[in-house]
């Protein structure tokens, strides 16, 4: 409670400080704009009046000079009087003393004033008083963390019956990081977070967006998730396959070499779910199929085979056929296409009291693909609870993610 209260105070103070700074900036910009408008109107309106004033002053000054010259001519000496009167008469004929420039009427002269609507303060006041809320209980909470190899399956649930969610938003961060980052936005209530380092704590939180709303709800209580399972990896260095940097994606390249690409180690344990997902590869969606193409699990790596359709292995071909120890079953799954997901689930069923000492050993296998599944028992001659996984493709373009 104290930690969330402290965080909430920090968020509120930061938000309102940002608002104050933004409002001050906007008000300063508006003030500067209005002052510029006043300056522009003043300069535009005063110019013709200034020009009119200059013309009037010039005319008055000229008439005053002419009047003095006439007075001088009248009161001057008799010898110079005729000459001055001739000069005065000539100037008087060329100066129009009976006209003035047109002066704008009073109604055409601008008179500036500021029009300020006091209701803005009322609107801002009402909006500010309604801005922001403090929620004590978020409408969604994290529910469960399921360990996966190199990942964590995160599940969450709605805890507010009156809240109708439209989307969920999941974030996480490593325990040493300072900021959360988005990892999922959508309508599902669970998500597999991949690229998780084993034995490292990660913090998760989730929020939701109500139906028809734009804003997100408050965050759930952050919780710690961790996986102890090492990530699944393909074996590097096999000609014919290119791997991603984390070695969890294999791409069948255009090499003529054929063979089975196995996992680096037997990292698939009974009781877990192993998932293969066909992902897009450039322009091609999937490669050309071949009857030997397959995805599956096996007891051990066996070189020299070009397919998993062999002894001590179970697999699904790209056309949906299921093979157990090299024999095709009657039940069939949908063909593997772009975006297809194939999952393997296994549980141990032991036969006889000495099954751990070399007797018959049985695994119950469930293979699912495109909302269909097949279930069968896989009988082995030895105890085996950790398995390798593998794939084989004859033609380039196939790209498989394993988790």
Report domain extents, the chain: 1-130, 140-225, 241-402
Three-state SS across 313-358?
EEEEECCCEEEECCEEEEEECCCCCCCCEEEEEEEEEECCCCHHHC
Tell me, what's the pLDDT at 131? 82
Residue 211's pLDDT is what? 83
Structure tokens at 238: 């096999």
pLDDT at 355: 44
Give CATH superfamily name and number for 140-225. Immunoglobulins (2.60.40.10)
CATH architecture of 241-402: Sandwich (2.60)
Token pair belonging to 138: 């978020």
275 strand-pairing partners: 343
Question: How would you list the strands of the sheet with 190-193, edge to edge?
Answer: 140-148, 151-158, 190-193
Strand partners, 170: 184, 206
SS3 at position 295: strand
Q: Is 206 in a helix, a strand, or coil?
A: strand
154 touches 142 (CB < 8 A):
yes
Provide long-range contacts, Cβ within 8 A and 24+ apart, for 12-17: 12/132, 15/132
Q: Are 87 and 65 in contact (CB under 8 A)?
A: no
Number of residues that this document lists for the chain: 403
**Placement of tokens 């805890």 in the chain:** 159
Tell me how far apart the 2 most distant CA atoms of the chain are, in Å: 160
- Give the Cα-Cα-Cα angle 87, 91, 92 (nearest 5 degrees): 115
Residue 102: Cβ within 10 Å count: 9
Among 388, 345, 393, residue whose Cα is nearest residue 369: 345
pLDDT computed for residue 52 by the predictor: 78
**How many other C-beta atoms can be found within 10 angstroms of the C-beta atom of residue 42?**
12
Give the per-residue pLDDT at 77.
65
CA 321 to chain centre: 40
Per-residue pLDDT of the chain (403 residues; tens, 9 = 90+): 787 788 888 988 999 999 999 999 999 999 999 999 999 888 888 887 787 788 888 878 887 877 887 777 777 666 666 777 777 777 777 776 566 666 667 777 778 888 888 888 888 888 888 887 776 678 999 999 999 888 999 999 988 888 889 999 999 999 888 899 999 999 999 999 988 989 999 999 999 998 888 889 889 989 999 999 889 999 998 889 999 998 999 999 988 888 899 999 999 998 889 999 987 654 445 678 889 999 999 999 988 888 999 999 999 999 999 999 999 999 999 998 888 899 999 998 875 554 444 457 889 999 999 889 999 999 888 888 889 999 999 999 899 999 9
How many other β-carbons are positioned within 10 Å of the β-carbon of residue 378? Answer: 19
Distance (Å, rounded) from C-alpha 129 to C-alpha 197?
46
CA nearest neighbour of 166 among 210, 122, 203, 111 = 210
């Amino acid at each position: 409670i104290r930690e969330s209260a402290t965080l909430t105070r920090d968020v509120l103070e930061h938000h309102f400080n940002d608002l104050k700074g933004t409002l001050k900036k906007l008000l300063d910009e508006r003030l500067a704009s209005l002052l510029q408008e006043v300056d522009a109107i003043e300069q535009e309106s005063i110019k013709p009046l200034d020009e009119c004033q200059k013309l009037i002053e010039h005319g008055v000054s000229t008439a005053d000079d002419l009047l003095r010259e006439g007075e001088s001519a009248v009161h001057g000496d008799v010898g110079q009087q005729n000459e001055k009167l001739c000069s005065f008469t000539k100037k008087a004929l060329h100066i129009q003393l009976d006209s003035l420039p047109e002066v704008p009427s009073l109604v055409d002269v601008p008179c500036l004033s500021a029009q300020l609507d006091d209701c803005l303060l009322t609107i801002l006041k009402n909006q500010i008083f309604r801005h922001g809320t403090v929620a004590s209980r978020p409408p969604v909470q994290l529910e469960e963390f399921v360990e996966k190899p190199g990942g964590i399956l995160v599940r969450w649930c709605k805890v507010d019956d009156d809240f109708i969610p439209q989307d969920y938003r999941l974030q996480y961060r490593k325990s040493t990081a300072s900021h959360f980052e988005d990892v999922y936005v959508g309508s599902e209530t669970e998500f597999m977070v991949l690229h998780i380092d084993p034995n490292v704590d990660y913090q998760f939180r989730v929020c939701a967006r109500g139906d028809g709303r734009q804003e997100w709800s408050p965050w759930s209580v952050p919780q710690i998730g961790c996986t102890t399972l090492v990530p699944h990896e393909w074996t590097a260095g096999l000609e014919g396959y290119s791997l991603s940097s984390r070695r969890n994606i294999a791409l069948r390249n255009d090499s003529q070499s054929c063979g089975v690409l196995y996992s680096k180690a037997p990292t698939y344990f009974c009781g877990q779910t192993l998932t293969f997902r066909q992902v897009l590869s450039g322009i091609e969606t999937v490669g050309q199929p071949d009857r030997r193409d397959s995805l599956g699990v096996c007891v051990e790596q066996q070189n020299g085979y070009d397919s998993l359709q062999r002894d001590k292995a179970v697999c699904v071909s790209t056309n949906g056929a299921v093979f157990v120890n090299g024999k095709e079953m009657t039940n069939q799954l949908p063909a593997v296409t772009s975006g297809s997901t194939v999952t393997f689930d296994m549980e141990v069923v032991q036969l006889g009291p000495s099954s751990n000492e070399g007797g018959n050993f049985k695994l119950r296998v469930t293979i699912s693909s495109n909302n269909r599944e097949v279930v069968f028992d896989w009988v082995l001659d030895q105890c085996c609870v950790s398995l390798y996984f593998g794939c084989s493709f004859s033609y380039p373009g196939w790209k498989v993610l394993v988790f």
